[in-house]
Amino acid sequence: MKLWQNVFSTDIDSLADAFNRSIDFDKRLYRYDIQGTIAHVNMLAKQQIITNDEGNRIVDALKTLLTDIENGTVVIDETYEDIHSFVELYLTEKIGAAAKKMHTGRSRNDQVALDMKLYVLDQVKEMQKALVELIDALIQTAQAHTKTIMPAFTHLRKAQPSTYGHYLCAYIEMFLRDLRKVTLVEETCLANMPLGSGACCGNTYDIDRMYVAEQLGFEDITYNSLDGVADRDYILDFLYAMSMICMHMSRYCEELILFSSEQFGFLSVAQAYSSGSSMMPQKRNPDMAELIRGKTGRIYGSLLQMLTTMKALPLTYNKDMQEDKENFFDAVNTTLSSLHIFTAMHKTLIIHKEAMYLSAKDSYITAVDAADYLVKKGIPFRDAYSAAAKLVNYCIDKNIYFHHLTTEEIATIHADFDAGLLEAVTLENSLASRNQIGSPAPEMVEVSLEKYLQRLAAYKGSATF
Ligand code: ARG
């Protein structure tokens, strides 16, 4: 049975019918379809487009249907074309003629646009919740490690002294940006309730679009009916935000894989979040981190698919737009499950402070501090840089590090290298003197963490989830 059944003189070909059908994936929208229809029917009754009695009967039946689907009494019949057809035809069977009025002043084009926005708004909340939980966890670990020295890398070569707390703050920054992006998606969605756009040019009834918007929590309505049904920007915005979340998780995972390897030994992944090998009994593999890194490609794929689907579509609705669902639903589920595993895996990491410290100590990562030492005595930076380079090469030749050097040795490299230099190039002093906001001096990392806590508290204060 189709909503448009009696318009055609012959039945649709069975293969075409199956090809056209979207119910096996858009059935996920049942809650939003029913919610949107209730708001629409309430409006039709308020405007006397249908009677109050008809309105009440339809709304009661819709509420019952929602409970019945939720508790499993009603199973969505996948022989219908889509979820919209199922809801209307199911209700017609249940309450008869009144249900045939529920689609007055509405098209599936504006209906599906509304359903998708309601779905996005719900999933945005889940994403915000998951991000807040993650940022909370990262802040907690960072607070405990503002003095845990480790090298910072450029080109994956040991570069300068940092701390594990300072390192984690970089990821807190990223996920805070993601939270803002996701919240922007919410704001964009809430600002534009599309129902009333009709198939593409509105309708001829005295409808009250703002009343529908208010019932559903939207702040405003769309102001162009063509765009109202043709717009899928909010899906793309969300896919982009999810791509960024996954990209950030993936970078962390890449480092987790490296840092937990035998070669680094900075961290261990808890056994609960590791996998073993079927053959090599010694293995503890970081499968969760690899999977999160791997799944990131899927999210990018969905973003690219949707951009491609939309790129040459003439206004307004085209059936191509039905392709906005399967990959998108998958992207939402994948991002959410990745975020949950990611947070749990982070919280249970075992941190090997000594290995981090040794890696920093057995290196020349304070070489710039040696140059800076001379600069502070009035020597031009480029000359100071050459003297520091000489110092590094001297150590490499002798197979020693700065902490092995004596005052006599360093004086032969530059006349201004004295006992003070040996102090300046210790990891602790190098860190302590990097005391601008954003830099790794422990008290500066604490300042940043305070900022993040404030931002998160402000966010939680205004959040709607
Ligand atoms: N299943 C459709 C979609 O997801 C619903 C809208 C159908 N509109 C139409 N004119 N056939 O886009």
Query: What's the pLDDT score for residue 361?
Result: 97
Helix, strand, or coil here: 432? helix
Please name the amino acid found at residue 307.
L
Q: Is 69 in contact with 82 (CB distance < 8 Å)?
A: no
Q: Is 83 in the pocket of ligand 1 (CB under 6 A)?
A: no
- Tokens linked to 434: 């990097």
Report which secondary-structure segment, H or E, holds 152: strand 149-154
Query: What's the pLDDT score for residue 253?
Result: 98
Query: What's the pLDDT score for residue 229?
Result: 98
- Tokens linked to 65: 């249907």
Query: What's the pLDDT score for residue 2?
Result: 81
Q: What are phi and psi of 337, to 5 degrees?
A: -70, -35
**What is each CA distance from 224 to 118, 201, 229, 462, in whole angstroms?**
19, 9, 9, 30
Residues in Cβ contact with 290 at an 8 Å cutoff, skipping those fewer than 6 apart: 253, 257
The answer to whether residue 107 is catalytic is no
Residue tagged active-site, from 14, 155, 278, 462 = 155
| Tens of each residue's pLDDT in the chain, 465 residues | 788 777 787 888 999 999 999 999 999 999 999 999 999 999 999 999 999 999 999 999 999 999 999 999 999 999 999 999 999 999 999 999 999 999 999 999 999 999 999 999 999 999 999 999 999 999 999 999 999 999 999 999 999 999 999 999 999 999 999 999 999 999 999 999 999 999 999 999 999 999 999 999 999 999 999 999 999 999 999 999 999 999 999 999 999 999 999 999 999 999 999 988 888 888 889 999 999 999 999 999 999 999 999 999 999 999 999 999 999 999 999 999 999 999 999 999 999 999 999 999 999 999 999 999 999 999 999 999 999 999 999 999 999 999 999 999 999 999 999 999 999 999 999 999 999 999 999 999 999 999 999 999 999 888 877
For a mutational test of ligand 1's pocket, the pick from 84, 319, 327, i.e. the residue with the most ligand atoms closer than 8 A to its C-beta, is 319
Report which secondary-structure segment, H or E, holds 254: helix 233-259
> Which letter does DSSP use for residue 224 in this model?
-
Q: Is 429 in the pocket of ligand 1 (CB under 6 A)?
A: no
Report which secondary-structure segment, H or E, holds 160: strand 157-163
Q: Is 255 in the pocket of ligand 1 (CB under 6 A)?
A: no
Helix axes 52-70, 83-95, angle to 10 degrees: 120
Instruction: Sketch out the chain's domains with CATH numbers.
Output: 14-104 (1.10.275.10), 109-202+210-359 (1.20.200.10), 361-462 (1.10.40.30)
218 Cα: distance to centroid of ligand 1 (angstroms): 22
Rounded to 10 degrees, the C-alpha dihedral 56/59/60/64 comes to 170
Alpha carbon distance 375, 384 (integer Å): 6
The answer to whether residue 277 is catalytic is yes
Give the Cβ contact number of residue 28 at 10 Å.
17
Q: Which atom of ligand 1 is nearest to the CA of 84?
A: 5
The H-assigned helical ranges of 349-416 are 353-361, 367-375, 381-398, 407-413
